Amino acid sequence: MDFPLWPEAASTVAGDVDNLYIYLVLVSAVMTLLIFLAVFVFAIKYRRRKADEVPAPIHGSLKLEITWSIIPFLVMLTFFWWGAKIFFLNATPPPDSMDVYAVGKQWMWKIQYPGGQREINELHVPVGRPVKVTVASEDVIHSFFIPAFRIKHDVVPGRYDTMWFTATKPGRYHIFCAEYCGTEHSGMVGWVTVMNPADYENWVSSGGISGSMAQQGERMFEQLGCSTCHLLDRQGRCPNLRGVYGSRVQLADGRTVVADDAYVRESILNPNAKIVQGYKPDVMPSFQGQVTEEQVLQLIVYVKSLAITGTPGATAAAPGGAGRRTTQPNGGNQ
């Protein structure tokens, strides 16, 4: 029977997490043994021998109290420091990461690639290449968990979060939803397939796709009528979206924001939240309820492509093409 006691380690961060975990286990084992041993030895050695014996009291010792407060705390600080290092590493995707988008929905994972491929409960990634996953939820809170990569991130409705990993070993590994999300929570599972780069290129090109994610977004953009105002309008009712993504936007209320994923999403679903300077509120209707989270992501990738090339629908988004992005602020998800 398949009976593992240790999870597979298949990402660059997994080894470090394992080492820290082993360190924690060792320190804890030593501590626990010491306490057990002391209790055991005292219980035997000082067992009551005469019914009426009364041992002399020991009131305490300041030196001991200080010692057993400070030393454990110093050891704990090493846990803290090492754990924090991994946490910060997890929070900072390398600039050359390829993008993947995962939308959680009761009870499945919908995966999209910039190249336009879409999958349900399956994620394909190449070995040795950083992958940045932008996660979003269609309904309740989910959590995207890949035990073999030792990473997990909650998927919270109403916002984007990012997580990243570099897979190190070809194979198939579990994807679990780790945040309880209703009836079929335990069925919200899938597989990540890690492939050699050549196999991955084959996989990418073999899919019969209806255009890249940016092209899918462009179609949405036209269907929903966004293009009338945001690209063609000459009367100045709406900001032209060419070159907007990644830039700083001056708002009517005096604030400046960076046009990142979260900003574009909010502008689609709640257009009055941030009005660009020089424009009026209540011009654009909300698209809340008319577009799914997946479609919003397609629109974002399209708007992003407008920034890179200035040409609508250009093939900016070959898988991993994100590497050419200018210094893009990190999602603004904090």
Partner 1 sequence: MSTALEQPKAQEKPNYLNAEYGWKSWLFTTDHKRIAVLYIISISVMFMLGGIFAMLIRLELLTPQGDLVNSDTYNKFFTMHGVVMVFFFLVPSIPATLGNFLVPMMIGAKDLAFPRINLLSWYIYIVGALFALAAIVMGGVDTGWTFYTPFSTTYSNTFVITAAVGVFIAGFSSILTGLNFIVTVHKMRAPGMTWGRLPLFVWANYATALIQVLGTPVVAITLALVGLERAFHIGIFDPAIGGDPILFQHMFWFYSHPAVYIMILPGMGVISEVVTCFSRKGVFGYPFIAGSSLGIAIIGFLVWGHHMFVTGMSTYAGLYFSLLTMLVAVPSAIKVFNWTATMFRGSISYETPMLYAFGFIGLFTIGGLTGLFLGTLGVDVHLTDTYFVVAHFHYVMVGGMVLAYLGGLHFWWPKITGKLYPDGWGKFSALLVFAGFNLTFFPQFITGYLGQPRRYHAYAPEFQVLNVMSTAGASVLGLGFLIPAIYLLMSLKSGKQAGDNPWGAKGLEWETASPPPTFNFDETPVVTEEAYAYAKHEEEPVG
Under rule CB under 8 A, which residues in 59-118 are in contact with partner 1? 59-61, 64-65, 68-69, 72-73, 76-77, 79-80, 82-91, 106
**Smallest separation (angstroms) from partner 1 to the CB of 118:** 24
Q: Are 146 and 173 in contact (CB under 8 A)?
A: yes
User: What span, in angstroms and rounded, lies between the C-alpha atoms of 164 and 122?
Assistant: 16
Q: Which residues pair with residue 11 across a beta bridge?
A: 167
Query: Residue 93 corresponds to which amino acid?
Result: P
Among 96, 120, 128, 186, binds partner 1 (CB under 8 A): 186
Tokens read off for 136: 């979003």
Give 160 or 200: the residue with its C-beta nearer to partner 1: 160
Q: Are 131 and 319 in contact (CB under 8 A)?
A: no
Strand order across the beta sheet in which 151-155 lies: 122-126, 189-195, 171-177, 142-146, 151-155
Among 15, 26, 42, 250, binds partner 1 (CB under 8 A): 42
**Smallest separation (angstroms) from partner 1 to the CB of 217:** 22
- Which parts of 281-320 interact with partner 1 (CB under 8 A)? 288
Give 44 or 198: the residue with its C-beta nearer to partner 1: 44
**Smallest separation (angstroms) from partner 1 to the CB of 262:** 11
The size of the interface with partner 1 (CB under 8 A), counted in residues, is 92
Decide if residue 177 touches partner 1 (CB under 8 A). yes
Tokens read off for 281: 């509120």
Looking at residue 57, the DSSP 8-state letter turns out to be P
Give 152 or 219: the residue with its C-beta nearer to partner 1: 152
Burial degree of 100 (CB within 10 A; 0-12, 13-18, 19+): buried
Angle (CA) 293-297-303 rounded to 5° is 140
Residue with tokens 């799914």: 292
Span from 27-35, 293-301, 303-311, 318-326 in contact with partner 1 (CB under 8 A):
27-35
**Smallest separation (angstroms) from partner 1 to the CB of 26:** 11
Q: Are 284 and 268 in contact (CB under 8 A)?
A: no
Decide if residue 20 touches partner 1 (CB under 8 A). yes
- Which parts of 123-152 interact with partner 1 (CB under 8 A)? 139-141, 143, 145, 147-148, 150-152
